[in-house]
Structure 1
Amino acid sequence: MSTGVIIALIVIVAAVLVAAAVLASRGRGSRHGGSLKRRFGPEYDRAVARHDGDTKAAERELAERVERHGSLRTRPLDPAERERFEARWAAVQERFVDSPREAVGEADRLIAELAGVRGFPDGGQYEEQLAALSVHHAHHVEGYRRVHRVTHARVDGAQDSGAGTEEMRASLVEARALFEDLVSPSRHDGGRHRAGADGDAAAPVRTRQHHQPWSFGKHRPKES
């Protein structure tokens, strides 16, 4: 066999190997992206939008969140703690009738405190706490993000661009789903955090959202 034929065969084999490696890499990337999309659900779409449609950048961000917080194990609340948190949330809903902004601010602080007690990063590290919650409660974390945004828009003096009462009500309703996940005696404990990402926790949200935050009072909330 001539030297030229041998070189040609080597080149062909090398090209085939490179092509196979590229296809295998794409296949792994596709499976990885699909896994992240299943796990994060709506949070995946938000990450893609935040990166202007760049799915690779969004997936890198989400993969980093999983690497940092995927092994986190929460501790369950004892019955007395659960009762106290539930009573405080009921008070938030009642307060919404007359003081919507103050109630939303209290909901923001209450979820931060509850998440910290359960074992997530402390509420003083909001971004890190939110990232950890998004890994384990991806379908419900947006409500916390919304009440936090409303609360801090006012604190920062941006009252002219603040939310109206209906937006505040919607944010509180949405945040309640995360609150109920965190206060629940058994759901998502012991390594079962991913149930929500598979859709098991999505149905209760639709039921919860029929409950209006001001249903404890007789009057519609006032604008503030």
Structure 2
Amino acid sequence: MSTGLIILLVVIVALLVVAALVTVLIGRRGDAGPGLKRRFGPEYERAVAAHDGDTQAAERELNERVERHGDLRERPLAREERDRYTARWTSVQEHFVESPRQAVAEADQLLGEIAAVRGYPDGGRYDEQLAALSVHHADHVDGYRRIHRMAGAAGAGAATGAGTEEMRSALVGAHELFDDLTGAGGDAAESGRHRAA
């Protein structure tokens, strides 16, 4: 074979390899949005809004969450633990009628505690805990975010803040995450889990 023919074959093979890589990268990039939307649901839209509509920045953030927390394995709750947490949540709901702000603070603390027991980062690192929860319970993590924000405002002694109806709505949303974490809403392993791998 002549040197010119060998060079031509090497160039053709190199071009084919580059074309294949470009095709794979474009395919991955095209699936990132729909895959993340499916996995994160409403959390995807919240992330895009937090990044002022910059979907690439939001997707980078969500992908980083998956990389950090995607392999997290939730520790199952024993029946006694589940019953104890359920009794505490019932108490929170009962307190709401007389003291909504106190009930919101109790709900916030209880969700952080259950998440830590299940294996998520400790509630003292709320942002990290919320990020991990968003990977595995994206459909219901906003309830925890809302309850935590209201509990923080009440703890800071904010004279004006959420009204009773807003606190009730946040407590209902937080209850959905509570059900996911305790398995009260169905199968503990599947309830509220992300929809796409």
TM range (shorter): 0.7 to 0.9
2:77 is equivalent to residue 77 of structure 1:
yes
* TM superposition outliers: structure 1 runs of 4+ over 6 Å: 16-20
Cα distance between partner residues in 2 of 1:21 and 1:71: 27
Conservation of the 8 A alpha-carbon contact between 2:182 and 2:188: no
1:82-115 per-position Cα deviation (integer Å, ceiling 9, x unaligned):
1110000000000000100000110000000011
For 2:175, the aligned partner's letter is: R
SS at match of 2:98: coil
Which residue of 2 is the match for residue 148 of structure 1?
Answer: 148
What is the rounded CA distance, in whole Å, between the counterparts of 1:121 and 1:87 in structure 2? 24
Distance (Å, rounded) in 2 between the aligned partners of 1:36 and 1:138: 11
Q: What are the ranges of 5 or more consecutive residues in structure 2 without an aligned counterpart? A: 1-10
What TM-score, normalized by structure 1, do the two folds share? Answer: 0.75
Give how far 1:18 is off: 6.6
Q: Counterpart amino acid of 1:157?
A: G
Q: Matched residues in 1 for 2:105 and 2:77: separation?
A: 23
TM-score (norm: length of structure 2): 0.85
Match of 1:68 in 2: 68
Partner of 2:3: none
- CA separation of 1:114/1:102 partners in 2, compared to 1, >3 Å: closer, same or farther? same
Partner Cα separation in structure 1 for residue 120 and residue 152 of structure 2: 21
Shift of 1:149: 0.4
Aligned to 1:98: 98
Q: Deviations over 1:52-80 (max 9, x none)?
A: 11111001100000111100111111111
Matched, 1:181 2:189: no
Determine the C-alpha separation between the residues in 2 that align with 1:156 and 1:97: 21
- Amino acid corresponding to residue 81 of structure 1 in structure 2: E
2:56 alignment partner in structure 1: 56
Deviations 1:14-39 (A, max 9, x none): 6x987775554232111122211111
How many residue pairs get matched? 187
CA RMSD of aligned residues (A): 2.5
